[in-house]
Amino acid sequence: MSFDVSALRAQFPILAREIDGKPLVYLDNAATTQKPQCVIDALVDYYSTCNSNVHRGAHRLADEATSRYEGARDTLAAFINARQREEVIWTSGTTEAINIVAHGLGLQLQPGDEVVVTEMEHHANIVTWQQACKAGGAKLKVAPIFDTGELDLAAFKSLLGPRTKLVAFPHVSNSLGTVNPIEDMTRAAKAVGAWVLVDGAQGIAHGGVDVQAIGCDFYAFSGHKMFGPTGIGVLWGRAELLAEWPVWQTGGEMISEVTYQDAKWNTLPYRLEAGTPNIAGAIGFGAAVSWFASLDLQALQAHEQKVLAYAHARAADCEGLQIVGTAPNKAGVLSFLMAGGHPADVGFLLDRQGVAIRTGHHCAEPLMNRLGVPGTARASFSIYTDTADIDALFTALEKVKTLLA
């Protein structure tokens, strides 16, 4: 397998930028990925040539916009191996997708029911279920992790039982990079009759997501985490569930018939897509997925693992640096602490050298409390990250040490 990271990087205009006269080293991909020129072009072309609202328009622009918008849905459905295109629901992102499911769940939960999450969740996959449980009088149960950041799978399975209504967990931890055994977890949850939602925000950009093979009921993800625009995402769900799921919002598009006394809901996918959608975002997301799907997935994954291993090796040799999250199966995240420096100070000083990382609790405050840290400095990698970026990070960290001394 050959992989030309330089040729790939050339497709991302922003990677040629300088920060204060220094080449940009972008290591904040878990927060958002950069966009290739083809995605930028797709957005500009839509607004330049066929900007219009979709569906029901009686003119050429509306027809063209609708074709591109619905074509993007087809692209996404094929990418995740959905059984049918109607299972792809456009949302504003992973958070809204999870909230759609949690809103409907809250209306169905009863006292004594249980929802299971893990200790490594993003806030979007904690607070939503927490509030749904409060609404229905149910109990939220939390599966523990080991100090390495790896899920305690035996403890997770022990929490499942006849009262488990839904299980929600991340495909990949946003703050630690831990890759969970989602197929095994899904089988265990389905064995007790529970619904399963996978938070795929960090998993989707690594490729190979097959919702039928996973066996889950819902899979949620965002466009901006995989080279697409912000403000667009997908809730994939089984058609038989989504067809009866309580509607999330009411208004235009999601109705089939309205009187002053009542209304009837539209069919999938539109019953869960109220109002004018993010048309440009969907088209841009479709362009991102088409571009990504054209790449050599095995070569990309091998490259990502090579970069991650290189980063861990450099970290092991860096005096005063503590890695947070050492699960054996990880994606491209290196969370760390530096002796004598608060993560926010480390991030500020790295930025002065053109190195972009993220600091704080990464919307995973309960996880940070579990690990006994105030937060971490997080360098996160993507398919365009190369070993030169890692070298630049650690060269900059050496200078940070002298500034913090």
Task: Round to the nearest angstrom and report the end-to-end CA distance of the chain.
Answer: 44
List of residues 6+ apart from 348 with CB closer than 8 A: none
Catalytic residues: 363
Q: Is the dihedral of CA 290, 294, 298, 304 positive or negative?
A: negative
> Between 279-293 and 60-79, two packed helices, what is the crossing angle to 10 degrees?
40
* Burial track 171-187 (b if 16+ CB lie within 10 A, e otherwise): bbbbbbbbbbebeebbe
Report CA 384 to chain centroid distance, whole Å.
Answer: 18
Four-point Cα dihedral 38, 43, 46, 51, nearest 10: 180
Q: Go through the chain and tell me how many residues it has.
A: 405
What count of other Cβ atoms lies within 10 Å of the Cβ of residue 329? Answer: 11
Angle value at C-alpha 262, between 256 and 264, nearest 5 degrees: 25
Q: Are residues 63 and 53 in contact, defined by beta-carbon separation less than 8 angstroms?
A: no
Backbone angles phi, psi at 223, to 5 degrees: -70, -40
Number of other residues whose CB lies within 10 A of the CB of residue 239: 15
Gap between the Cα atoms of 223 and 243, Å rounded: 24
| Token couple for 110 | 């009863």
Coil/strand/helix, residue 404:
helix
